[in-house]
Amino acid sequence: MSSAFNVTDGDFEAEIEKHEGLAVVDFWATWCGPCRAIAPMLDQLALEYAGKAKVAKLDVDTNIMTPARFQVRSIPAILFFKDGKLVDQVIGAVPKSQLEGKFRQHAA
């Protein structure tokens, strides 16, 4: 069971852009191997940062509007939103320490 929840084009604004504090969105697809590789790390960070960061996943195959809005051209793409504004992003499968550093930086 994932600790991240799913967002769609339909609820992205309400769930992410109207969220106060840190919201982290994983843009992914089922066929993407690197996406599957980082999913457990994001789940773990979602648990570790519960109450400090909201962690969501957006399937780029079924939701095409939001990736286009944020110019997501390759996945996995992890976008960091602070009070609804895009403040950072990580593209590609990276070590957990790198993701954790971003969480630490923006959750403060």
Q: What would the mean pLDDT of 21-30 be, rounded to a whole number?
A: 97
Catalytic residue among 32, 38, 72, 90: 32
53 belongs to the catalytic site: no
Query: Looking at the chain, which runs of residues are DSSP E strands?
Result: 5-6, 22-28, 53-59, 77-82, 85-91
pLDDT digit string, tens, across residues 42-76 = 999 999 999 999 999 999 999 999 999 999 999 99
Question: Which of these is catalytic: 4, 35, 60, 75?
Answer: 35
Q: What is the pTM of this model?
A: 0.95
Q: Which domains does the chain have, with CATH numbers?
A: 5-107 (3.40.30.10)
Q: Is the backbone peptide bond immediately before 76 cis, with ω within 30 degrees of 0?
A: yes
Q: What is the pLDDT of residue 2?
A: 62
- Is 32 one of the annotated active-site residues of the chain? yes
Average pLDDT over every residue of 6-22: 97
Q: Which tokens is 17 given?
A: 């852009």
The number of beta carbons lying within 10 Å of the beta carbon of residue 67 is 20
